[in-house]
Amino acid sequence: MTRTFILNSSRSAKQGTLINVGKDSEEYKALTTSMTMEPSDMEAIGLSEGQKALVKTEFGEAEFRCESGKVPVGMIFVPYGPPTCQLMGGNTDGTGMPQSKGWEVEVIPL
């Protein structure tokens, strides 16, 4: 089942500690390819803990491994990284950084 959610991405505290290990490390890649959803949202679309899902925006798509967590219903959280860049458009509104919060995204269980 497919449903629309609001995606928020930002750097996490764990991401900050992993930068010393390097962005090419398996730990960093695992972190930036994971997304957190509210458990009832996961259940509503038939997504299981650890299952992959395709997240799509009007600009692109990326795969993430799903984890249940404490996020508001209707929202997903993803640590900022290469996969989230695949979801962004090029408009920066003069800030030098594309919008990375409040995106309406489609989530498709794989």
Q: What is the CATH number of the domain that holds 82?
A: 2.40.40.20
Domain range enclosing 92: 3-109
pTM, two decimal places: 0.81
Write out pLDDT tens, residues 68-96: 999 999 999 998 888 888 888 666 566 65
Question: Which residues, in sequence order, are CB contacts of 103 under 8 Å at separation 6+?
Answer: 6, 7, 8, 57, 87
**Overall number of domains in the chain:** 1
Write out pLDDT tens, residues 29-64: 888 899 999 999 999 999 999 999 999 998 899 999
In eight-state DSSP terms, residue 102 is E
